[in-house]
Amino acid sequence: MFERITSLWVSTPEKPYDPTDPKMNPLNPQGLKPCCACPKTKSARDGCFLKYGTTEGDEKCQELVQNHLACMRGLGFKI
């Protein structure tokens, strides 16, 4: 009897936010993981850093990095 009463007071813990779960994140209906999301902007960003290296790339690739971040945030990833 007491088990039933205490179970009414105990709330079930909420699931942590999962951007790959379409039920939690309608911005990502395909359930893409971060590694597979935004392949075009990711490829452009990575290509820029491979071309210029990390020192020059920080300056020359800034716009491509921002484009990739915007794409990822558009899919609901918190980065």
61 is known to lie in a ligand binding site: no
Please report, for the chain, how many H helices and E strands are present, in that order.
3, 0
What count of residues does the chain have?
Answer: 79
36 is known to lie in a ligand binding site: yes
Least Cα distance to 78 among 29, 23, 20, 13 occurs for: 20
Please compute, for residue 12, the number of CA atoms within 13 A of its CA located in the half-sphere on the CB side: 3
The annotation places the binding site at 35-36
Instruction: Please give the annotated binding residues for Cu cation, written as ranges.
Output: 35-36
